[in-house]
Amino acid sequence: MDADRLSERMGSPHELARRAANELRLRTYAGRHPFVTFVAAPLPTAALILVGICLSMVLVLSVLPEGSSRDNYVPDWAAAVMQSIVWAMRYVPFMFGAVLFCHLAKRALHRPGWSFVACALIALSAGSFAVHLTLPTNGPGSGSLTMGFGFAAGASQLLQALAPLAVWAAYAGLGLRNRNPAAVA
């Protein structure tokens, strides 16, 4: 069979690639339901990841020694671990959520616009999330951990908001460099 007749029966190579990409997109949940995946799911996903990190903080606090051998109530190693967990609470859930949704969009062959919507929603929640730790100094009850949502003009919250967008920019940059001509929608 010559190439012209084959092209007539199957369609042009561009049309074949578009149809194949559409079939691949329909194989995944993210491909079939992009609105649910990239608009409704990002905020609950970031919240669940944040809860997991909070539980790790509770576990660290439960293994702290009760007494103190020095002037500080909390040993230096425990203070460093708690500060690291607070830092992780500010960035990890939101960056992990951005990576997750960028990967889902790439795997479902969606254009970067869907993952941008998800990352923008995650960035809004990251920018409004605030956490502050005061280490205990005089025994139980002298420290505090405050978490909440609210917009404040601070550099830390701006960096928190920019982190998921930086993840999206990295994924979009990689996607443009390795662009698949079949990814049309």
**How high is the pLDDT of residue 151?**
75
How many whole angstroms separate alpha carbon 9 and alpha carbon 20? 16
The answer to whether 127 touches 151, Cβ cutoff 8 Å, is: yes
**How high is the pLDDT of residue 24?**
66
SS3 of the chain: helix, strand, coil, percent, to 5: 70, 5, 25
Q: Which residues are CB-neighbours of 12 under 8 A, at least 6 positions away?
A: none
Dihedral (Cα; 127, 49, 86, 162), 10-degree rounding: -30
Instruction: Quote the tokens at residue 46.
Output: 């970031």
What sign does the CA torsion over 139, 92, 32, 121 have?
positive
The answer to whether 82 touches 57, Cβ cutoff 8 Å, is: yes
Comparing CA positions, the residue from 112, 90, 107 lying closest to residue 163 is: 90
**How high is the pLDDT of residue 168?**
94
**How high is the pLDDT of residue 98?**
93
Stretches where the chain sits below pLDDT 70 are 1-8, 16, 20-26, 61, 64-73, 139-141, 153, 175-185
How many whole angstroms separate alpha carbon 176 and alpha carbon 184? 13
**How high is the pLDDT of residue 167?**
94
**How high is the pLDDT of residue 146?**
82
Instruction: Quote the tokens at residue 107.
Output: 């795997």
**What amino acid is encoded at 73 in this protein?**
Y
Q: How many CA atoms lie within 13 A of 77 on its CB side?
A: 5
How many whole angstroms separate alpha carbon 99 and alpha carbon 97? 5
**How high is the pLDDT of residue 185?**
43
**How high is the pLDDT of residue 165?**
95
Is the pTM here over 0.85, yes or no? no
**How high is the pLDDT of residue 183?**
46
The neighbouring-strand residues paired with 132 are: 146
For every residue of 70-86, DSSP letters joined together read SSSSS-HHHHHHHHHHH
Q: What is the CA radius of gyration of the chain?
A: 23
